[in-house]
Amino acid sequence: MTASTSAEQTAGLRRISVLLFSDNRATRDAVRVGVGSHPDPGVKVEEWMECATAPAVELALDEGDYDVLILDGEAQPYGGLGLCRQLKNEIFDCPPVLVLTGRPNDNWLASWSLADGSVAHPLDPAALAAAVARLAHS
């Protein structure tokens, strides 16, 4: 493969940074593994910022720019659904947000939270990757 061929293949690649919020390390690990480094051929996750508390999310957003936020609606004591609604109401031009809901029937809560997408527990890696790729392209 020549250098120009390699450059042509990466020219259309969208490189993103993702902020991931969950108080549960196993959930954070499952999301990172499910999304992977290339959720689709046109998207590469270059950076993950993990936060275990809502105040850590707010601080991270004050200090950095992220292309996609993933917020766990099942986090305790402050869940990702309420945090999503807060961020959407407080941050001008808030990045797209994917919320993780407790079950498929909780999609109405994702709508209430103003989320741009949702994936229900138990987490399906293909659904996670597809949702992140869609939000990265939006």
What is the total count of domains within the chain?
1
CATH number for the domain harbouring residue 58: 3.40.50.2300
Report strand pairing: 117-120 vs 43-51: unpaired
Q: Write down the pLDDT at residue 1.
A: 42
Span 68-82, average pLDDT: 96
Strand order in the sheet with 117-120: 43-51, 14-21, 68-72, 97-101, 117-120
Residue numbers of the domain that contains 104: 16-137
> Is the separation of the CB atoms in 132 and 70 below 8 Å?
yes
- Is position 118 within any domain? yes
pTM score, whole prediction? 0.91
- Could you tell me if residue 38 is inside a domain? yes
State the DSSP code for 94.
Answer: P
| Residue 7 belongs to a domain | no
Report if residue 6 sits inside a domain. no
pLDDT tier, 12 (very low <50, low <70, confident <90, very high otherwise): confident
Q: Is the pLDDT of residue 4 over 60?
A: no
pLDDT per residue as tens digits for the range 106-133 = 989 999 999 999 999 999 999 999 999 9
